[in-house]
Structures are given as C-alpha cells and as structure tokens.
Structure 1
Amino acid sequence: MKIFLATKNKGKIEDFKKLTENMDIEVVTILDNIEIPDVVEDGDTFEKNSAKKALEIAKYTGIVTVSDDSGLCVDYLNGAPGVYSARYSGENATDESNMDKLLEDLKDVKKEDRKAHFVSVVTIAYPNGEYQSFRGEVEGEILFERQGNNGFGYNPIFYSKELGKSFGMATMDERVSVSHRGRAFRKLKEEVLDKLS
C-alpha cells in the first residue's frame, strides 16, 4: 500500500519511516519529487490542522495521505506555544530561535512550574474525503538549557520523565517508544494500517 506523508519536515519523515518499518507500506514524500500545494494551517487546534492538511493533499494527489500536526504545550504559558510551536519566534523561526524564545520566556520559572507536554494528532485521509484522526501525548518538563541534539524541534529542552533524559539525548528508538507522535501513530497503525496491510 502506498501512503503519502504530508510534511516538509525531514525529522518527521525519518520518524514515520522508522514507525512503518517491516510493514507492507510504501511511504512517499516530497523527497520523491511529488508536488503538493501549500496548505494554510489556520485551525486553532491540532485536530483541525492535521485533518485539513491530510484531506487537501489526499484530494490533490489522489493518494491516501497521512498528516501530523504537533506541538509543545507549556502549562505555565497556558498551553503556548501550542499550534504555533513551529513559528513561536516569528515568521522566519528556526528550531534554535524557538528554543531560545521559550527558554527566555521561562528563565525565571522554577523547576516545579516547568511542566509541559507534546501533542501529536495524526490524520489519515482518503481521496474520497473520508478521514480518521488519532491523538498522542507525552508528559515532561522544560529544561533550563539544551541537553543533547538528537531529533528536531524542541527535543533538546524537553525532559521526558519516562526516559529519564531529554529527547535530545535519546536515541530515535527510545524517543519513538514514548513520543507523542509514536503514540498517535501506533493508534493509527492498530486501528487502520494493520487491517489494510
């Protein structure tokens, strides 16, 4: 079965390819020279953005499409950066500038008030307009400085209680075993993909 993974983020592409190892699924992406339209992610929830992206691209490509919308929610900041995680530090945001802004915003916040969680909503959409979404979360806290540089996004400053280390210090296998994206994807796998492949 062929599935188009709707993302331009190479880190997410690597994560999804890892998650579909040993399955009878061919994952295709923009790296396979498939043109896709830019989808404006203007929803106020991860669910709305994930579904919109998957549906628009499935209809455009005619290929079953999987999309992920994910972000970091910090309790002290009332859930920010949330759906704005990728552009937290502005229009030309990078992983580094986003981490710098978050560390600055939390610089005087004590350890016990730095609780946070990652959210991922994975949607599978079909060219006929049908879709299903699955949500995964992982709890942790924001560190005072970067630890490790594995993965992407906010991983170096997110401490996972389950792993006992930052996501930036974790191997891909360790991270995928507990991550928000891994959890959302496993729900998709169990409820949809295992029945198709």
Structure 2
Amino acid sequence: MPAGARVIIASHNQGKLRELQRILAEMIPGFEETMLVSAAGLELPDVVEDQVTFEGNALLKARTVAAATGLVAVADDSGLAVDVLGGSPGFLSARWSGRHGDDEANNDLLLAQMGDIPAEHRAARFVCAAALVAPDGTEVIERGEMPGRLLTERRGTNGFGYDPLFVPEDQPAGQARSAAELSSEEKDAISHRGKAFRAIAGDLARLLA
C-alpha cells in the first residue's frame, strides 16, 4: 500500500480517481490527494458486479476492498440512463457493447441505437451511487444525478465514457457544451459523481479525524 494512503477507491479507472481526489481535497480540510489511492495494481479479490442496481454494485465493491485492505473504502457505480431506452444502458453502461470499459465501442453502439430519435426525445441522465465502507462497520451510500440530453455525434476530448455524447442541462444560459467540452472544475461542480461524493464527504471527514 502506498505510504500515506488512508482511503482506497475500489476502481482501476484513473479518470474516476483524479475526479474524486479533486472533490475530496476541495470538501475536506487537510485532505491531500495522495491520501486517496486506486485499487489498481493491488492484489485484491476480484469483485463480480452481479447486483442489478447502482447502489448494490457500489456497496459490494466498497465492502470487498475495505475487508481486504483494512482501510476506509469508497466505490461508485455509475452510468447513463436514457429515457427512450427505458433507463438503459444503466448499470450496464461500462459494458454496453459487450466489452467492459471500451468507451469507443459503447459510444458507437449508443449512437446507432439512437440514430432515428429526434432531439425532443433524447433526454438522458448520468447517475452515480457512491458507497463508503469503513473497517468499523460504517456504511454510507448516496446518489447523485446529472440530467441532460444526447448528441448525434461526439464533441470534445475531455472526460471519459459517454461524456462526448452528453450535454448537461445545468449550464449558463446560451451554452450547450458536451461534458467532454467542460473543464474538470466545471464538470466536478455539476456531475453526478461530484454530487454523490460531496454528499458522503462529511462522513469520510469524521472517519479520518
């Protein structure tokens, strides 16, 4: 375990790690980004995400990592819910194309599925369930959402996942940038993950005090 680590995020996704480091450093006095480390590279049990809700999968991952490391663990399960697809891809977002974490293939498939859908029916939202589990048995779970709509082509190079196809609703008047066209700070302020993790930041601060 890296020196100074006090919290571990149950994810190998470097985009999520950097986003959460920024959020917690902003929310918790004295919190340094190096105190949060990724599960990547650590010998931890494999977690089969077999739950059918964002909350269930987030809690499963956090429990597994907290038990294996003896550290406070945070995890999230997040995804894109499209209205005309009945809330799909939902908790299957990362493997929508059949290959886990293949952002390009996932975006290609979603574009194909939404090809004939007119603008007024392209509403969607990003959803995040964030879980916090401590070795003392503390468990907290929070949910955040970022509403918006889907584009017909990719725009922007920031972010990850479905960000290039998604225009968040919460933007200044006259702006319609994709999530991949926002700066990291702009996205953190309105993102589903930002909302969910800011909600558990107080509980995390108390555990680290």
Give the deviation of 1:133 after TM superposition. 0.2
1:148/1:169 contact within 8 Å kept = yes
CA deviation after TM superposition for structure 1 residue 128, in Å: 3.9
Q: Is the 8 A contact 2:17 2:37 kept in 1?
A: no
The equivalent of 2:204 in structure 1 is: 193
Q: How many angstroms apart in 2 are the aligned matches of 1:129 and 1:68?
A: 18
Asked if the contact 1:55–1:129 (Cα under 8 Å) also holds between the matched residues in 2, the reply is no
Matched, 1:143 2:179: no
- Out of 28, 33, 39, the position equivalent to 1:30 is 39
Identity of aligned residues (%): 41
TM-score, length of structure 1 as denominator length = 0.94
The SS at the match of 2:145 is strand
1:130 matched to 2:138 = yes
Q: Distance in 1 between matches of 2:66 and 2:99?
A: 27
Q: Map 1:65-76 to 2 at 5 A.
A: 65-76=73-84
Cα shift readout 1:1-31 (whole Å, capped 9, x = no counterpart):
8111110111101101111225434112235
Counterparts of residues 149-188 of structure 1 (less than 5 Å): 149-163=157-171, 164-188=176-200
* Structure 1 letter corresponding to 2:206: K
**Residue 130 of structure 1, CA deviation:** 3.2
Unpaired stretches in structure 2, ≥5 consecutive residues = none
Cα distance in 2 between the residues matched to 1:67 and 1:195:
18
Residues 79-158 of structure 1 mapped to structure 2, 5 A cutoff: 79-91=87-99, 94-158=102-166
Regions of 4+ moved over 6 Å: none
Q: Deviations over 1:133-172 (max 9, x none)?
A: 0100010011010010101000000001212311010000
Structure 1 segments unaligned to the other structure (5+ residues):
none
**62 and 195 in structure 1: CA distance in 2 versus 1, 3 angstrom threshold:** closer
The secondary structure found in structure 2 opposite 1:168 is helix
CA contact (8 A) 2:24 2:198 kept: no
